[in-house]
Chain A
């Protein structure tokens, strides 16, 4: 019913209007217009999700429909996965805008402008069917993200974080562009369906190199180890509503791009070598999940802790997508939706704490926030959601991913999920227990666990009262994390969307030949008793780890002085140096390692 370019054009037009009226229109009016726009985009996205359930909506710009099976123009291909991502972004941007109405004391009209540009760019990124269009929206999304990250530029912290973020991600964009150029040189096409059809089953070093460049560039955005260093820095300094968007949708889009490009363009050529590719990507996923979890537990700055938790969960999502099965991809997509809501709620809770006290440090917060009961509830529920407690969406996602891993023979991956989800949840439990329930050592007794990062508050002056417009989005996002899990026919719908996404031939036929694919019949998977037991075990384990860490001085000594902790955690912490040249060196190493492993094991 609604035309697909609407979620892209309307936010961009409104952003341009607000920027043109900058200085002439008051801040409240600008925020209200922005919220109305993002709510409108959310409603349009709901309509797109409903209309694209069985058949993707294909929209050719300028009426340049394909002729003779060859794509001539640029198209939007709205399938269920892309439409759900637009819906998720609309919800997160609305929550961020409502939250920041009272959060910023001195934000002008340019904050909603940047958020609307981000919304339009993400919509374009999710819905496009053309590879170069994908790159352009990727850059637009990145540039608005750089500006949002450095928004409070009065302190040096945000500038350093934004520079780290910008340099690393710009190099990622260059890699993506090299990949696109190589593919164009080989096939003469930029449309993804056309590329998939032209490459077909022909694998050669050029196609493989293009895949390595494209995947590496998007993995930098997705914060997979060793490309992940920028994410921790960016989240530490970005304002809380912006962190909601970064953790909720931006990094997931990097993974979405790799999945889309692989299945639409490369799956014919790289299909025979699927098992080797699966091993390589699963390795990256496991390393990311574990390093993210360990670094998460070792933090005392709340936003940095949540950032490392995002890295760990991105590793888990990569695990699901790397299994290269519909079930794994469906699990990863459900997990992404649940995680986005929960992480958004946690970051907004962190924003509430920062608004009241001016600090994000675990030691400094201890004595000051005991009375914030609702915020405490947000944190405890969010931590349970991160561990995968049953009603949350993360539970269903984890189920499907582990089931798919079992079927493929990866029996140990269950432990990675347990460790990744459990340790990150334990970190948030420990933080919340320490500052809200005042368990654990008092302020003077706590030895320095991590580096104390100087904080510049996003707001000025002590605030005695948190307005409802800040509580409401935080609570609603956590509730939506539960609602994702309670959605009817969730696993069946996700799996059929994954099957559509992984069907290269049907996609090309739909886009280029206008043949309609028929819906696959997928049955829902109920949760077994073993699944629920595993989820409860993860949550209880996380709680026990947190309780041990808070309650027992001996446990704290062991955790801090054992040789493993000193060398491993100390070494990891030393590597996260905050210096751009270090990050770029790791980036080059990562691209080389990925490329060499792909070439060696795909038999070239």
Chain B
């Protein structure tokens, strides 16, 4: 049971990659990238979790009480911000691509090859 979150993280990574590789729609592809990103969130949070520990807020509980690791939570929030930016930019590119070509199939975007 202790290792289940790690397996979930690996599964999310692989399923997201599979979605990217077999995608037929650019919007679906970008959302699959989000799924891959969520695997890293699960990994980070699992690393910081302590069984039976509380939230790391020490305003009214004595210092030394077991708490989960706040650093990984901060890392995860930074990641969310970074990946929101990337996903927004990617979706903007996809919208522009649809406006210019009318197509959303990644396999049909092979304009630059050779």
Contacts known (A136-B78, A170-B33); A157 close to B21, Cβ less than 8 A: no
With A136-B82, A163-B26, A174-B40 known as contacts, the answer to whether A156 contacts B111 (CB < 8 A) is: yes
- How many angstroms from the CA of A592 to the CA of B103 in the assembled complex? 32
| In the assembled complex, A577 has its CB within 8 A of some CB on chain B | yes
Q: Which residues of A from 119 to 145 have beta carbons under 8 Å from B?
A: 132, 136, 139-140, 142-143
Q: Is B75 an interface residue (CB 8 A)?
A: yes
Q: How far is the CA of A341 from the CA of B29 in the complex (A)?
A: 37
Q: Is the interface of A mostly helix, strand, loop or mixed?
A: helix
Contacts A159-B96, A174-B37; is A588 near B17 (CB within 8 Å)?
yes
Which of B's residues lie within 8 Å of A, judged by CB?
Answer: 13, 17, 20-23, 26, 29, 33, 36-37, 39-40, 43-44, 47, 71-72, 75, 78-79, 82, 85-86, 89-90, 93-94, 96-97, 100-101, 106-107, 109-114
* Cα of A578 to Cα of B44 in the assembled complex, Å: 34
- Return the chain A residue nearest B78 by Cβ: A136
- Asked whether, in the complex, the Cβ of A184 is within 8 Å of the Cβ of B21, the reply is no
A-B interface pairs (CB < 8 A), number: 139
Question: Can you spell out 26 A-B residue pairs with CB atoms less than 8 angstroms apart?
Answer: A139-B86, A142-B86, A146-B90, A153-B93, A153-B96, A159-B93, A159-B96, A159-B100, A166-B86, A166-B93, A171-B33, A171-B36, A173-B86, A177-B40, A178-B13, A178-B43, A184-B75, A233-B112, A236-B112, A298-B114, A453-B111, A573-B114, A578-B111, A579-B109, A579-B110, A588-B17
Of the candidates A132, A167, A181, the one whose C-beta lies within 8 Å of that of B20 is: A167
Given contacts A143-B89, A156-B101, contact A163 B82 (CB under 8 A): no
Residues of B within 8 A of A147 (CB): 89
Interface membership of A389, Cβ < 8 A: no
What's the least CB distance linking A401 to chain B, in Å?
31
Q: Identify the closest chain A residue to B109 (Cβ).
A: A160
Given contacts A146-B89, A170-B33, A584-B20, contact A178 B40 (CB under 8 A): yes
B89 pairs with A580, CB closer than 8 A: no
Question: Are the C-beta atoms of B97 and A160 separated by less than 8 Å?
Answer: yes
- Nearest chain A CB to B39 CB, angstrom units: 8
Q: How many Å from the CB of A118 to the closest CB on chain B?
A: 14
On chain B, the residues within 8 Å of A480 by CB distance are: none
Of all A-B residue pairs in the complex, the 5 with the closest CB atoms, nearest first, are A578-B110, A451-B114, A578-B113, A185-B47, A159-B97
**Interface residues of A, CB < 8 Å — how many?**
55
**Is A150 positioned at the interface, with any CB of B under 8 Å from its CB?**
yes
Decide: A577 and B110 in contact? CB cutoff 8 A: yes
For the complex, is A454 an interface residue (Cβ under 8 Å from B)?
yes
Once the chains bind, are A154 and B20 in contact (CB under 8 Å)? Answer: no
Quick one: given A166-B86, A166-B90, A580-B106, are A453 and B26 in contact (CB under 8 Å)?
no
Q: Nearest residue in B to A184 (C-beta to C-beta)?
A: B47
* Docked pose: A9 CA to B101 CA in angstroms: 39
B21 touching A584, Cβ below 8 Å? yes
Q: Does A324 contact B (CB under 8 A)?
A: no
Chain A residues in 8 Å Cβ range of B100: 153-156, 159
**0/1 string, A566-593, CB within 8 A of B gives 1:** 0000000100111111001100100000
Contacts of A140 in B (CB 8 A): 82
